Chain A
Amino acid sequence: MEKKLNTPIDDLTRESLTIGDEVLISGTIYTARDAAHKNLVEALDTSQKLPFELEGQIVYYVGPTPARPGKAIGSCGPTSSYRMDKFSPKLMAKGLKVMIGKGERSNELVAEVKKHKAVYLMAIGGIGALLSKTVKSSEVIAYSELGAEAIRKLTVENFPAIVAIDSKGNTIF
C-alpha cells in the first residue's frame, strides 16, 4: 500500500517514513537540477535572497521537456541525484527536508540526510510521460534563462516515489 503524503510534509510524518515505503505526493514541489543548484548555493554563499523559501520544502531533480500547448508540463522524470551531492548539504542546512531524484548518493550525503532528519525519495527514471500526468500545474519562478534547468513550482497529485534514504540514515541501495 502506498502512503499518501500532502505537502508541506510535517516532521512527524517525514520521520516515520522508512526505506522501501512507496509514497504518493500531492501538493507543491520545486524543481532544480545542476545549474539551478549552482545558482542557489551561490546565492546562499553571497547572502542573497533565494527565489523560494527552503524551510520544510521539497526539491525535485528534473529538467522537463517543453510543454505542448494546453499541457501543464512535458515529460518530467527524475535526473541522477549524485550530481547534486555537493550542493544539497547547504540547502538542507537552510531547511530543505525532502529531495526527489534517481539513483544512489554518496555516503557523505547520507550522513547529512540523517543529520538534518531529511529524506531522499527516488522516482523511477525514464518514465517522464507517466509522471507528467501527475503534474497539474507548472510555473517558472526563477532562472528562466536556464530553460529546462529553470526552477519551477509544480503542483502535483499522487506523484509516485520510493523512500531511498530515510531520516535515520538507512538506505535502500
Chain B
Amino acid sequence: MYKIDRNLIVNTIKEMIMETTRTLGSEVIKSLESAFGNEKNNIAKNVLSKIIENQRIAKEENIPLCQDTGVCVCFIEIGRNLIFDYDLTEAINEGVSVGYTEGFLRKSVVKHPLNRINTKDNTPAVIHYDFIPGNKMIIHLAPKGGGSENMSTLKMLTPADGREGIINFVLETIENAGGKPCPPLIVGIGIGGNFEHVTYLAKKAIFRPIDDNAKIDEDRLLEVELLERINKLNVGPMGLGGNTTALAVKVNSAACHIASLPVAVNLQCHSARKKEVTLIGKEA
C-alpha cells in the first residue's frame, strides 16, 4: 500500500491555484498567437493582441490574468494502491482556501444559491474522483470563470435528431452566447451518457490539451467540422466579429440509452487556466 502526505496535497493545490490564475499554458498562448496571425478583422486583431499582452503583464506583475479567478474544479485520478487515513476532500479544500487567500485571489463562491452569502475563502471546490491503476494520484485543476460557465448548455436530443441535431445545438449555443463567455473559446462537448453524465463529459473535454484530437472517429470528425463552422459564425473575439470564435473544439462521448441523445456544451473562455500535476505515493 502507498500513501500521499496530506500536507503535500494541500500545498500542491495551493501552488496550482496560484500558478494557473497568473500564467496561461504555453499551448494556449501559442494558439492565441496563431489566431492573431490568421485574423483579418481589425477590431478582432486588436482584442487578440491585448489578450496576448495581458498574459505577459500577469506573469511579470504577478497579478491574476482575470479578476474572475473562478470556482476551483478538480478531476482527481486516484491510484488503486493508495490508501488515505485523512479526508481527501477536506485536504483539497484546505489547499483551495490557502491558495485563494494567500494568493490575493477573488472569492467568488456563495454558500447557498439563494442566500448568496460568500464563503470568503472560495471553498468548496467542485471535485470529481476516479480510479486508475498504480500508486500515483493525478490532479487536474482549473479555476473556472462564471461568465463562460453561465453560457453553457444541455439538451436531451432524440436519436432522430442525430449528428445534425448536435451540430445545430452547438452552433446555436455559441451564437446565442455571443461575446458574454469571452471568446475565443475552447468548446467542450459531451454526447451520450445520461442527463448528469453528459455534462461531466463536456467539462472533462475542456481539460484536454488544445492540440489533442479525439480517438473515436465520430468524435474527431465532429471536432473538425464544428471548429470550422463555429469560426464562420462571425462572433469573434469578445463577440465583436472576426473568424476567431473558437480556438478548439473537444468532443467526449459515452454509451447511452436507446431512446436518448444527450448533448452538453461547456464553454471555456480564452482565459483557459488549467494544470495537471502527478503525485507519487510512498510505500506505507
Chain B binding surface, main DSSP class = loop
Interface size class of A (residues with CB under 8 A): 35 or more
CB-nearest residue of chain A to B22: A129
> From residue B153, how far is it (CB to closest CB) to chain A in Å?
16
Chain A binding surface, main DSSP class = loop
> From residue B279, how far is it (CB to closest CB) to chain A in Å?
28
| Cβ B67 vs Cβ A65 within 8 A | yes
With an 8 A cutoff between CB atoms, is A102 at the interface? yes
User: With a CB–CB cut-off of 8 A, which chain A residues contact B270?
Assistant: 126
| Cβ B51 vs Cβ A124 within 8 A | yes
- Assuming A79-B68, A130-B53, is B238 touching A125 (CB within 8 A)? yes
With an 8 A cutoff between CB atoms, is A132 at the interface? yes
With an 8 A cutoff between CB atoms, is B180 at the interface? yes
| Cβ A74 vs Cβ B179 within 8 A | no
Interface size on B, residues (CB 8 A): 40
Q: Which of B54-62, B130-138, B189-197, B202-210 contacts A (4 or more CB under 8 A)?
A: B54-62
| Cβ B66 vs Cβ A75 within 8 A | yes
User: With a CB–CB cut-off of 8 A, which chain B residues contact A128?
Assistant: 54, 63-67
Which of A67, A76, A126 has the most C-beta atoms of chain B within 10 angstroms of its own C-beta? A126
Jot down 29 A-B pairs with beta carbons below 8 A, ordered by A.
A63-B67, A64-B106, A65-B63, A65-B67, A66-B104, A74-B63, A74-B104, A75-B63, A75-B69, A77-B67, A102-B179, A102-B238, A103-B180, A104-B178, A104-B180, A122-B238, A125-B179, A125-B238, A126-B65, A126-B145, A127-B53, A127-B66, A129-B58, A129-B66, A130-B54, A147-B118, A148-B67, A162-B43, A173-B239
Interface of A toward B, CB cutoff 8 Å:
20, 22, 35, 62-68, 71, 74-77, 79-80, 82, 102-104, 122, 124-130, 132-133, 147-148, 160, 162, 172-173
